[in-house]
Amino acid sequence: MEISGYLLKNGIEVVLSGGACVTIYAHKALESFDLDFVLISAEKQKEVRRLLLAKGFFQERRYFRHKNTPYFIDFISPPLAVGNEPVRALSEIKRGKNVLRLLSPTDCVKDRLAAYYHWDDRQALEQARLVYQNQNVDLREIRRWSKAEGMLTRYDRIKKTLSPA
């Protein structure tokens, strides 16, 4: 939260996505050390680098690391989307004055399913299941999105994996 708050104070909006959202929503059943932030404005990429270097981060290829944490940060270019659709609503976690903006649980499941659908990432399917089992997720929306992605047949095959009942 400190990084996103620090960037926001400096005029840079970011949204957490990827495996770090799974860590949050699945109550640490999976721990990701990769913090993927989607930039809302592509023009801010150089400013992000300057701000992080000023805070003691160093760059390793496309990632930013800090000697005091095992986490590494990646900044993804806009647009903020899951598959071919823009993200319409965000979730927020507030701690004091800090606010972390992140994908909603439903969009987090879609994000993980996109990795499964397009790259056959079985670990991403398991991550989608963990989020579904620990959060209020809209399966009708996931089905609608899967159809729009051209993946309805794959969704129908795995929906019981998400919601065993």
CATH of the domain at 16: 3.30.460
pLDDT of residue 152: 97
Three-state DSSP class for 62?
coil
Nearest to 142 by CA among 95, 83, 101: 83
pLDDT of residue 95: 87
pLDDT of residue 162: 85
The Cα–Cα gap between 25 and 17 comes to 11
The residues facing 64 across adjacent strands are 59, 73
* Each residue's pLDDT expressed in tens, for the chain with a length of 165 residues: 489 999 999 999 999 999 999 999 999 888 889 999 999 998 888 899 999 999 999 999 999 999 999 999 999 999 999 999 999 999 999 988 888 999 999 999 999 999 999 999 999 999 999 999 999 999 999 999 999 999 999 999 999 888 765
The Cα–Cα gap between 138 and 106 comes to 6
| Distance between first and last Cα of the chain | 36
- Domain of residue 84, residue span: 2-162
- Give the helix ranges, DSSP H, for 73-150: 105-119, 122-134, 139-148
Residues 6+ away with beta carbon under 8 Å from 4: 14, 16, 37, 98, 99, 100, 101
Query: What's the domain count of the chain?
Result: 1
